């Protein structure tokens, strides 16, 4: 089955626009939609406390296909996204992410997944500004450092200090430090480093199964 999952809360693109985009994508890729689900839980919550999302994941069968507008539909946290994908991979469930025109399957390699995470994360900083009075509360403003984001991540991975990076980019050290902290780039680099040390997500069976126990179908020992 091909199931659409829409995010009702905490996503900049509203449910109607998500649905329109996904349906257009499905039509262009000859995918028939069998059902549409809506998740009302907060994307910043941990999977353990997101009962609606857990219920949705439990309802999926082997070899189902899920279509989402963005990775943020699952979570805004990279580690939570990986946890969810580990669970989906256990049942050979494919995921289409329509806003970046990408498909993730159990055969997708760790490095490719990281590239997709970074691709989406980078796209969120390039969303066109809406014509509103002032900046909505809680929304992250654009920064002059956004154009250097991937370079900064690369330098941090090479263990460059903030001072060294600021000299390379010829920018203020304090401003660069604020940017790195506000975007959580050091945490991103650390997570990326840990993931790259793993040969493949699928080889982490014990970890994946432990994580997936929280959404295991009652009475069935089938991986979830």
SS (HEC) of the chain: CEEEEEECCCCCCCHHHHHHHHHHHHHHCCCCCCEEEEECCCCCCCHHHCHHHHHHHHHCCCCCEEEECCHHHCCCCHHHHHHHHHHHHCCCCEEEEHHHCEEECCCCCHHHHHHHHHHHHHHHCCCCCCCCCCCCCCCCCCCCCHHHHHHHHHHHHCCCCHHHHHHHHCCCHHHHHHHHHHHCHHHHHHHHHHHHCCCCHHHCHHHHHHHHHHHCCCCCCCCC
The CATH H-level superfamily of 2-108+205-215 is: Resolvase, N-terminal catalytic domain (3.40.50.1390)
Ranked by mean pLDDT, which of 104-108, 140-144, 172-176 comes out on top?
172-176
The pLDDT tens digits of the residues spanning 4-20 come to 988 877 677 788 888 88
Q: What is the pLDDT of residue 119?
A: 66
Q: What is the pLDDT of residue 110?
A: 67
**pTM of the entire structure?**
0.57
Q: What is the pLDDT of residue 216?
A: 56
The pLDDT tens digits of the residues spanning 36-90 come to 887 877 767 787 777 778 878 888 888 899 999 988 888 877 778 878 888 888 8
């Amino acid at each position: 089955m091909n199931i659409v999952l829409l995010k009702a809360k905490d996503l900049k693109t509203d449910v109607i626009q998500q649905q329109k985009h996904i349906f257009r994508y499905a039509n262009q890729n000859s995918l028939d939609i069998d059902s549409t689900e809506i998740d009302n839980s907060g994307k910043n919550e941990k999977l353990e406390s997101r009962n609606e999302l857990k219920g949705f994941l439990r309802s999926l069968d082997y070899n189902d296909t899920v279509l989402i507008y963005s990775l943020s539909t699952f979570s805004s946290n990279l580690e939570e996204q990986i946890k969810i994908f580990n669970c989906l991979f256990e049942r050979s469930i494919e995921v289409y992410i329509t806003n970046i025109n990408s498909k993730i399957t159990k055969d997708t390699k760790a490095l490719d997944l990281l590239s997709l995470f970074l691709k989406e994360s980078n796209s969120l900083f390039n969303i066109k500004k809406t014509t509103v009075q002032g900046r909505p509360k809680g929304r992250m403003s654009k920064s002059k450092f956004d154009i250097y984001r991937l370079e900064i991540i690369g330098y941090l991975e090479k263990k460059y200090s903030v001072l060294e990076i600021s000299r390379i980019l010829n920018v203020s050290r304090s401003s660069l430090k604020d940017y790195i902290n506000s975007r959580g780039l050091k945490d991103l680099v650390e997570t990326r480093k840990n993931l790259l040390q793993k040969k493949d997500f699928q080889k982490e069976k014990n970890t994946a199964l432990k994580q997936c126990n929280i959404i295991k179908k009652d009475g069935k020992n089938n991986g979830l």
